[in-house]
Amino acid sequence: MALISVGIDHEHASLDLLERATVPEHEWAKMLRTLVSHRNIHEAVFVSTCLRTEVVAVIDRFHGAIDEITETLAEATGLSVGEFDDRLTVNFEHDVATHLFQVAAGLKSVVPGEFEILGQLRRALELAIEEQSAGSEVTDIFQRAIASGRRVRAETAISRGTTSFARAAASAALDELGGDIGESNVVVLGAGQMATGVVKSLLGAAPRLATLTVLNRTMERAEELKSEVNDERVQVGSLDSVNEHLTGVRLLVSALEVSSPVLTREDFVDFSGDILIVDLGVPRAVSSDVGDLGHVRRIDIGDLRERVERALGDRRDAIDDAQRIVADDVERFLNEQRARGAAVIVRELREHFDEMITGELARRSHDLEGLTPDQRDSVVSLVRSVVAKIAHRPTVALKEAAGTDQGARLSEATRNLFDL
């Protein structure tokens, strides 16, 4: 069996394809059950964020597993298998660790060092454990990657300044509107982690903001957000009443997870005044054609990515520091994994030999009946000594080759030869 990751991300696919390839979180459990029902997939963790949809799995046949994963993604998203051609990022065995540790560190995020990805990876693992699709191998690598991600943020300056979509979105909105947005009215769609970050960032950066209205599907979560920020400028309402809250709004930020837009061009045709729309959703919650209207400006994740790239500046050194930490953590993880792999096969081989000695001595015990206890002990000691010498060279070879292609071949041969 081998470890593999198969995914689609913002580095290799268009925003439009990422939008259509996103799987809502409430469907992740179904994805996991489907994945592990395939012949070649034994363990799986699935994560789908605004700019990344990915499967990490323990598999049998490489190409068979890729086909099964691609077919599952296509079925869940309504895309054709062909639409994933040349856009999938595939990592195998040791490369999976490097990839996943970099993802957890925020090195593959639009906003380097952003915190949201750690929570997303943690939730993905927790769900996989709950659905019993995560075994010891994927659980171990996810836990180590998350720990490495925390270390990167603690020991480098990569998390300094704007380090999340939420804060980057608030900063981009204020820049687009010329700094402080004064006594304006703002509407935020959503009340999840990203929406909460947007609300806090806007309230902190715009002290003269008149009102900030949070609209969400469930009023309970919106009320929780209001209580958390504890600011009298915050109001809450139902997402169903969004059109009633648009009058006089200067800034609309959407941080929703939706399958289709909740606002379209028609909702803004007769809008009075100028409005800036910041849509952090993939798929988009506000249809992209609203930007055709003269009084509407819009920023989406594609624009945000370009802004962040231009603004990285002096954090380049922090990114280099983070990469060195990740490389160090990956090497340590792989070394420990090699040691564990060798330890398992060596232990099984020794146990096999011990069972052979015990069984054969028991079977031939009548041949030893005429011996004194000391003579009998000498025979047992001699047999064990001979078997130990026979086992020595295979044991050393397995330990020395652990973690390499040769080691994998030796392990497989050992299991076949000794029926382990």
Query: Six-digit token pair at 48?
Result: 């789908």
266 included as an active-site residue: no
Measured between alpha carbons, how far is 66 from 91 in angstroms, rounded to an integer? Answer: 11
Tokens of 92: 């195998």
Which two tokens mark 123? 């939730």
List 329's β-bridge partners, or say none. none
The single residue of 6, 21, 47, 50 carrying the catalytic annotation is 50
Give every strand in the sheet of 41-49, ordered side by side.
Answer: 41-49, 52-59, 2-9, 89-92
> Considering only CA atoms, which of 125, 106, 129 is closest in space to residue 312?
106
Contacts by 386-392 with C-beta closer than 8 Å and gap 24+? 387/353, 387/356, 387/357, 388/353, 391/349, 391/350, 391/353
Query: In whole angstroms, how far apart are CA 252 and each of 198, 215, 255, 296, 315?
Result: 11, 11, 10, 11, 30
66 Cβ contact partners less than 8 Å away, ≥ 6 residues apart: 4, 6, 88, 90
d(CA 142, CA 42): 16
Catalytically active residues are 50
